[in-house]
């Protein structure tokens, strides 16, 4: 990882992520689990779940943008 990646990670950990998720217990639980668990296969399972969630939310927001989904 280059300098940008390091800066981005620090930004996430020191700035946005811990604050914006404050109060989001489910989010905190998932990040905490990601912090403590080890093993590439477990990480890949987490990433796969993230991909599926991102796709579902992308689709929902496309529907909101199109007017076919009520926000």
Partner 1 sequence: MKRYVPLLALVLLTACGPKQYHIATVSATGAHESLKFAEDTLDSTICGKPTAPVPPLKCTTVEQRRELAPLLVKAYQDDGTAQKVIHDWEPSTGARPDYAALLVQITKAIQTIVDALPTDAAKAKVTAAVNAGGK
Residues 6+ apart with CB under 8 A from 21: 27, 28, 31
Burial category of 1 from C-beta neighbours within 10 Å (exposed 0-12, middle 13-18, buried 19 and up): exposed
Closest separation between CB of residue 36 and partner 1, Å?
A: 10
Angstrom CA distances, 14 to 21, 26, 66, 67, stand at 12, 19, 36, 37
**Interaction residues for partner 1, span 22-41 (CB under 8 A):** 22, 24, 27, 30-31, 34-35, 38-40
Asked if 19 interacts with partner 1 (CB under 8 A), we say yes
**How big is the site for partner 1, counted in residues (CB under 8 A)?**
48
Asked if 68 interacts with partner 1 (CB under 8 A), we say no
The C-alpha atoms of residue 47 and residue 44 are separated, in whole angstroms, by: 5
| Interface residue list for partner 1 (CB under 8 A) | 1-2, 4-6, 8-22, 24, 27, 30-31, 34-35, 38-40, 43-44, 46-48, 50-51, 53-55, 57-58, 61-62, 64-65, 67, 70-71
């Amino acid at each position: 990882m280059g300098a940008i990646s390091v800066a981005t990670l620090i930004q996430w950990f020191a700035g946005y992520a811990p604050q914006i998720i404050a109060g989001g217990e489910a989010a905190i639980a998932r990040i905490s689990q990601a912090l403590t668990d080890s093993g590439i296969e477990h990480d890949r399972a987490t990433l796969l779940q993230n991909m599926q969630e991102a796709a579902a939310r992308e689709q929902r927001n496309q529907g909101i943008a199109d007017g076919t989904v009520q926000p």
